[in-house]
Amino acid sequence: MKRETVRFLLLRHGEVTAPPGALYGQTDVPLSPRGAIQSREAACALNGAGICRIVTSDLARCRFLADALGEVAGVPVEADPKIREVDFGAWSGLTWKEIDAREPGAFAARLRDFEDFRPPGGENIRDLADRTWQTFEGLMNETQRGTVAIVTHAGVNRVILARLMGIPFARILSLAQDFCCANVVDIYPDGAATLRLLNGRPEHAGSMALGVPS
C-alpha cells in the first residue's frame, strides 16, 4: 500500500473540576459539567471528519471525549497510558501558591529551567516529550492514510507540536491549548509536517475534513 498524507487531530480534554492553577497532571480529576458538554459537542462537531483511528490517554477526562467521538465515528477507542499528562510527582494536585509555601523558590526554579527541572518524584518536559513521542511516532509509522484522532492533554499536545515544528521545549507555553481544543497536523509521505490548525474549535477541524491533501 502506497503511503499517503495522514491527518492527525490532536484534541485536548474538556474542562475539569480542579482548582484554578492546580497542577493536576496525572491525577485522574473528573470533568466539570461544562467539560462534559464541551466533550459531547466536540465529538458531534467532528462527525464526518473521516476518523479511522482514535487513541486516547487512559485518564477519565480524556476517555470521556474519546468514547463520545468513538460513538460518533463508529471507531473503537484505544487507551495508551504513555500519552498521559506530565507527572508532577509530589506536586500533583497542588497550586503554585501551595508549592511555593511548602518549598519556597521551587516553582520559580522550575520556570527558570522549564525543560529540565523535575519536581520531587516527577517528570520534566524532556521526559514527557520522550514518552509521548513513542506513541506519536508509532502512529505515524503504522498509518498509511486517513485521519487519526489523539485525545490527550495540553502538555502532551504542546511537546508533540513543538517537536514537529522545531520549537524549543522551553517555549511550549506559547502554544495555547484551551479545553476541548483541536489541532490539525498533516504528515506527508516524506515525513514533512504542516500545522493547519492550532488551538482551534473542533467544528473548524471538522470542516477541514473535505480534503486531506495527497
pLDDT tens-digit map of 20-72 = 889 999 999 999 999 999 999 999 999 999 999 999 999 999 999 999 999 99
pLDDT value at position 141? 94
- Which pTM value belongs to this model? 0.94
pLDDT tens-digit map of 3-13 = 899 999 999 99
Residue 212 pLDDT > 60: no
Q: Which domains does the chain show, CATH number per domain?
A: 6-88+124-210 (3.40.50.1240)
pLDDT tens-digit map of 167-176 = 999 999 999 9
Name beta bridge partners: 8: 148, 185
Sign of the Cα torsion 170, 184, 165, 156 reads: positive
- Report which of residues 62 and 107 the model is more confident about: 62
pLDDT value at position 107? 87
pLDDT value at position 2? 74
Quote the distance between the C-alpha of residue 79 and its chain's center.
13
Residue 214's pLDDT band (cuts 50, 70, 90): very low
Say if residues 34 and 14 touch (Cβ distance below 8 Å): yes
Say if residues 4 and 35 touch (Cβ distance below 8 Å): no
pLDDT value at position 210? 52
Residue 120's pLDDT band (cuts 50, 70, 90): very high
Residue 1's pLDDT band (cuts 50, 70, 90): low
pLDDT tens-digit map of 174-193 = 999 999 999 999 999 999 99
Helices (H), the chain: 33-45, 60-73, 96-102, 106-112, 125-142, 154-165, 202-207
Residue 75 pLDDT > 50: yes
